[in-house]
C-alpha cells in the first residue's frame, strides 16, 4: 500500500497559470500518495504541470507515519493525510503566490 508524503513545492510561472499578475511563482503544500518518495513526487509534479505551473524544487516533510512518530502532525493535517491515503490522489492543501523582494 502507498505511503502519504507531505511535500512543499516551489513553482515558477507559465503562461495562463492563473497566479496574480505580479507573482513570480507559488509555494504549494500538498500531500501525495506513492510507494516511495520518488513516486509521490512524480504524482505531485504531474498535478503541478497540469495546473500550468513550472516546478522548481520539492522539499519532503515526511510520511504520515514519520510525522506521527515525531509528534509534528496537527489533527487537521492527520485527517487530510488519512484522506489522501483512502482516495489515493494528490491533494493541494495550500497555494501561496510568491513575489520577488525589491
44 SS3 class:
helix
Range of the domain at 44: 3-98
For the stretch 25-79, pLDDT in tens is 999 999 999 999 999 999 999 999 998 899 999 999 999 999 999 999 999 999 9
Q: What is the reported pLDDT for 101?
A: 74
| pLDDT above 60 for 102 | no
> In the chain, how many domains are there?
1
The set of cell numbers assigned to 17 is: 497559470
Kindly tell me the burial class for residue 74, based on how many C-beta atoms sit within 10 Å of its own C-beta (0-12, 13-18, 19 or more). Answer: exposed
Rg (CA), the chain: 14
Q: What is the pTM of this model?
A: 0.90
Amino acid at each position: 500500500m502507498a505511503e502519504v508524503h507531505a511535500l512543499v513545492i516551489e513553482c515558477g510561472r507559465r503562461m495562463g497559470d492563473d497566479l496574480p499578475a505580479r507573482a513570480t511563482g507559488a509555494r504549494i503544500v500538498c500531500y501525495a500518495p506513492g510507494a516511495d518518495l520518488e513516486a509521490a513526487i512524480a504524482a505531485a509534479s504531474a498535478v503541478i504541470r497540469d495546473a500550468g505551473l513550472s516546478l522548481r524544487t520539492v522539499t519532503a516533510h515526511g510520511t504520515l507515519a514519520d510525522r506521527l512518530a515525531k509528534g509534528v502532525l496537527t489533527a487537521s493535517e492527520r485527517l487530510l493525510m488519512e484522506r489522501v491515503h483512502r482516495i489515493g490522489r494528490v491533494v493541494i492543501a495550500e497555494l501561496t503566490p510568491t513575489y520577488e523582494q525589491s
